[in-house]
A = this chain, B = another copy of it.
Amino acid sequence: MGNSGKVEANRWEEINAACDALSETEEELTREMVMRLADKWSLWTLAILAEEDGPLRFTRLMERVEGVSQKSLTKTLRALERDGLITRQIFAEVPPRVEYTITALGLELLSHVEPLWNWVARSVPQFQRTRQEFEAR
C-alpha cells in the first residue's frame, strides 16, 4: 500500500503538470468539459449515436435515450454539437427532418471514457461492500 501509493501519486502529478502547461482559462475549460460530459444525458446520447454507427433522427433518439425529455435532449444535442462531438443536419422538408451523427472526435472521446467506465463497473461490488460496512459502522 505504501510504495504503490507513491507510484500512483506520481502519475497524478503528471496530470497536474499537464494542467499547469495550460493557461488558467484553459484549465477551467478542461474542468468544465469533464463536468459537462458527466451530466445526466451527454455520454448516454453519445453512446447511442456510437452504437448506431449512422445518423439518427430526433424522435428516434428520444426513444433510445430512455427517460430523457424533449427539452433536455435538445439542450444536450446542442451542447454536443457546439463541442464538435456530433453533427446536426437539417433537411428542408415537411414534416421537418433532422439527423444527428457522431463525429470522429466524439468516437475518440468515447474510446477514452471506456476504460474508466469499465473500471468503475468492475469495482461496483467493492463499492457495495464498502458502503455496507460504512452503513453498519
Q: A8-B107, A51-B16 are in contact. Are A29 and B83 (CB under 8 A)?
A: no
**Residues of B contacting A6 in the complex (Cβ-Cβ under 8 angstroms):** 53
Tell me if A92 counts as interface (CB < 8 A to partner B): no
A131 CA to B32 CA in the complex, in Å? 13
A residues 92-120 near B (Cβ < 8 Å) are 102, 104-105, 107-120
Decide if A47 touches B110 in the complex (CB within 8 Å).
no
Contact B119 A51 (CB under 8 A): no
Q: Is A56 an interface residue (CB 8 A)?
A: no
Cα–Cα distance between A6 and B104 once the two chains are bound (Å) = 10
Give Cα distance in the complex from A39 to B35, angstroms: 7
Give the residues from 34 to 73 in chain A that come closer than 8 angstroms, CB to CB, to chain B: 34-35, 37-40, 47, 50-53
Question: For the complex, what is the distance from the CA of A1 to the CA of B12, rounded to whole Å?
Answer: 33
Across the interface, which residues of B come within 8 angstroms of A131, CB to CB?
Answer: 82-83
- Interface of A toward B, CB cutoff 8 Å: 1, 4-6, 8-9, 11-16, 18-19, 22, 26-27, 29-30, 33-35, 37-40, 47, 50-53, 81-84, 102, 104-105, 107-128, 130-131, 134
Known: A9-B53, A30-B117, A37-B120. 14 other contacts (CB 8 A): A1-B104, A8-B108, A8-B111, A12-B110, A15-B114, A27-B121, A30-B120, A30-B124, A37-B38, A83-B130, A105-B123, A105-B126, A112-B115, A113-B116
